[in-house]
Every structure is written in structure tokens, then in C-alpha cells.
């Protein structure tokens, strides 16, 4: 027993069915299975004969030509015929990577040891020795004379005088 379905909705459903079948024949996407081809033919036949492709009103709206599941399956077949993905479940990639602090990044790496050589270490690496010198006996023999302008550097001399001694030190 045919239902009263709007002619525009019938034509729209038939146009979608025929367009999906036509796109599948062109071969833009993977070929349709036998079940999908049969589905398109039978649904088209039911719409032309009865005005609707389903009889049970609990499966779709009364004024529509296709049930909800038929419309969904037709949409999937159409996408497949066009060569687009059929949807399905996809793994979502995380938008932001986890912010994890690496404990080893905070540790200071020890400086590599510089190998010692037998030659003069140079002015920057020469060890500095401090010694207390009396103000009246300032020997100049403890400081070697500079050999070039690069080796000249200030020498620190500590001089103890009577004025700088604390009063109870005597």
C-alpha cells in the first residue's frame, strides 16, 4: 500500500541513487560490492513502485522516501563512489604533547678535564701565589720579569705596616 510522499522528495531520492550508481560505474573510487549494487537497484525499484523504500514507520519519517538507515547507507555508497573515505573510526592525534620535565636535564655535566702539557701554561693559566711581605724587605727576586707585553699582569703584594696593625696585636 503506497503512502503519500511528496514528489520532490521522491525525485531527490531517485536522483541521489542514480548519481551514486553512475559515479560507481565511472570508477573514481573502489568498485562497489554486489550487495551495494543490489541495494541501489532494489531501493530505486521500491521508490518507483510504492513511493517509499520502507513500510515500517518506526524506521523513518512518514513524509520521507528513504528510512534513516537507507539514507545513511546511500550516503556511504555515494562517498565510496566518489573515491572519498567512508569515515569510520580514526585515531585522534594529541593536539598538544605532554609537558614532561626530564630530571637528567637539570644535572650539570662535569667539565671535561684539560690534559696538562709540559710547556708553559700561559698567562691566563699561571697559578697565583700570595705571600706576606714586610715593608722594609721587599725582595724582587720572587717575581720573574715579564718576557713580553702579554705576560705582564698586575702583581698583588700585601704589605704590613705598623699603622695597619691592630693595637692589641703588639
Query: Has residue 15 got a pLDDT over 60?
Result: yes
54, 66 Cβ separation under 8 angstroms: yes
Q: In which band, very low, low, confident or very high, does the pLDDT at 51 lie, cut at 50, 70 and 90?
A: confident
Q: Which residues pair with 158 in a beta bridge?
A: 132
Beta strands (DSSP E) in the chain are 132-134, 158-160
Residue bearing the bigger pLDDT, 81 or 88: 81
The per-residue pLDDT for 115 is 64
The per-residue pLDDT for 38 is 92
The model's pTM = 0.47
pLDDT digits (tens, 9 = 90+) for 101-153: 777 777 776 666 766 655 555 556 666 777 776 666 555 555 555 566 555 67
> Over the Cα atoms of the chain, what is R_g?
48
Neighbours of 6 (CB within 10 A): 12
Domain ranges within the chain, ordered by starting residue: 7-82
Nearest to 9 by CA among 69, 80, 71: 71
Mean pLDDT of all residues in 19-46: 87
Cell reading at 117: 702539557
Q: How far from the centroid of its chain's Cα atoms is residue 13's Cα? A: 44
The per-residue pLDDT for 118 is 58
29, 84 Cβ separation under 8 angstroms: yes
Amino acid at each position: 500500500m503506497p503512502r503519500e510522499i511528496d514528489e520532490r522528495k521522491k525525485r531527490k531520492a531517485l536522483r541521489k541513487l542514480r548519481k551514486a550508481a553512475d559515479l560507481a560505474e565511472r570508477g573514481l573510487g573502489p568498485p562497489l560490492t554486489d550487495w551495494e549494487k543490489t541495494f541501489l537497484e532494489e531501493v530505486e525499484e521500491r521508490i518507483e513502485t510504492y513511493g517509499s523504500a520502507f513500510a515500517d514507520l518506526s524506521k523513518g519519517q512518514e513524509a520521507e522516501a528513504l528510512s534513516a538507515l537507507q539514507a545513511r547507507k546511500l550516503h556511504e555508497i555515494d562517498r565510496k563512489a566518489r573515491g572519498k573515505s567512508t569515515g569510520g573510526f580514526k585515531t585522534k592525534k594529541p593536539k598538544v604533547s605532554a609537558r614532561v620535565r626530564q630530571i637528567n636535564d637539570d644535572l650539570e655535566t662535569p667539565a671535561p678535564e684539560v690534559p696538562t702539557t709540559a710547556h708553559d701554561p700561559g698567562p691566563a693559566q699561571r697559578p697565583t701565589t700570595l705571600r706576606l711581605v714586610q715593608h722594609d724587605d721587599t725582595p724582587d727576586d720572587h717575581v720573574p720579569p715579564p718576557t713580553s707585553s702579554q705576560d705582564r699582569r698586575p702583581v698583588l703584594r700585601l704589605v704590613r705596616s705598623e699603622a695597619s696593625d691592630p693595637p692589641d696585636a703588639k
